[in-house]
Amino acid sequence: MTSPEARRPIVAANWKMNTGPHDGAELARAVAAENLPFAQVDVVLCPPATGLTAVAQAVQGTPIGVGAQHVYWESSGAFTGEISVPMLTGLASYAIAGHSERRQLFGETDLDVQHKTLAILAGGLTPIVAVGESLDQRDAGATLTVLRTQITAVLEALSPEQSAASVIAYEPVWAIGTGRNASPAQAQEAIGWIRDTVAAAHGCPAAERVRIQYGGSVSPENCEELLGREGIDGALVGGASLDAAKFAAIVRAAAP
Ligand code: PEP
């Protein structure tokens, strides 16, 4: 069912709660100065909210996209500390929803992720919807069920066109920031299950178009093996994305 030629790989950097405007812009300029295969790979930087303006300015005139790590689904109002999708106008064209750190540390539910994804799409941005199982869930043989539940909660609110236009990141919780990446076979299997779930919800054309990344301790050492697998359409990169040369090596490995 998969047709890799039809999908452009996408590699996104999740800087998490690291960098301010000054060093964020410096890192963005360092990434832009790498000789990246922009003709073949979409490259996205997701700085913290305070760095969005500086990073957007730093990459202006380059093909590098900018993404927000977090948004609230309401457009405006009394939501202290939150950032809405309309507030990202001119700054970001992507936003992450459902990162496991948001789910685990800040109590985000599947329904929250659905609301956020809808708001991101409604605002004309591309959502990067993160899903993944914990180690206990994997050990209990529940990975497929967990992924299906998380992804279905979002898909049921989307049209087939919206799901096709989204990016999904398969990020096993046990692999994030641990230095223990999923094996290429594990990543490929889980991504296959996610694509099958999209097909069941919205048909094969949507499933063939939706881009599904792998995330979890991706590094220059393991990226070629992971990103060389059919069906793995790039990576969501945390730790290694704070080093321009390491991030660039991962982007290059994503080029078909
Ligand atoms: C992430 O934050 O999405 C991530 C995958 O982090 P790391 O690459 O550090 O595991």
Q: Establish whether residue 132 lines the binding site of ligand 1, counting it when its CB lies within 6 angstroms of any ligand atom.
A: no
Q: What is the extent of the structural domain holding 85?
A: 4-247
How many structural domains does the chain have? 1
* 247 closest CA partner among 52, 51, 43: 43
Mean pLDDT along residues 206-224: 98
Which one of 70, 115, 171, 202 is the catalytic residue? 171
Degrees to nearest 5, angle at CA 50 with 67 and 246: 55
pLDDT at 142: 98
Residue 256 forms part of a structural domain: no
Q: What are phi and psi of 42, to 5 degrees?
A: -80, 135
Helix (H, G, I), strand (E, B) or coil at 205: helix
| Residue 221 placed within a domain | yes
Domain membership flag for residue 253: no
> Tokens 């704070």 identify what position?
242
* Residue 252 lies inside a defined structural domain of this protein: no
Task: Say how far apart CA 121 and CA 124 lie, in whole Å.
Answer: 5
pLDDT at 27: 98
**Using DSSP, how many helices (H) and how many strands (E) does the chain show?**
11, 8
Residue 160 lies in a domain: yes
Residue of 17, 99, 176 best suited for mutating to test ligand 1, as the one with most atoms within 8 Å of CB = 176
In a domain, residue 255? The reply is: no
pLDDT digits (tens, 9 = 90+) for 79-128: 999 999 999 999 999 999 999 999 999 999 999 999 999 999 999 999 99
pLDDT surpasses 90 at 3: no
| pLDDT tens digits, one per residue of 32-79 | 999 999 999 999 999 999 999 999 999 999 999 999 999 999 999 999
Give the CA distances from residue 13 to residues 47, 66, 83, 218, 238, in Å, rounded to whole numbers and listed in that order.
Answer: 8, 9, 20, 11, 6
176 close to ligand 1 (CB < 6 Angstrom): yes
- Let me know if 171 is a catalytic residue: yes
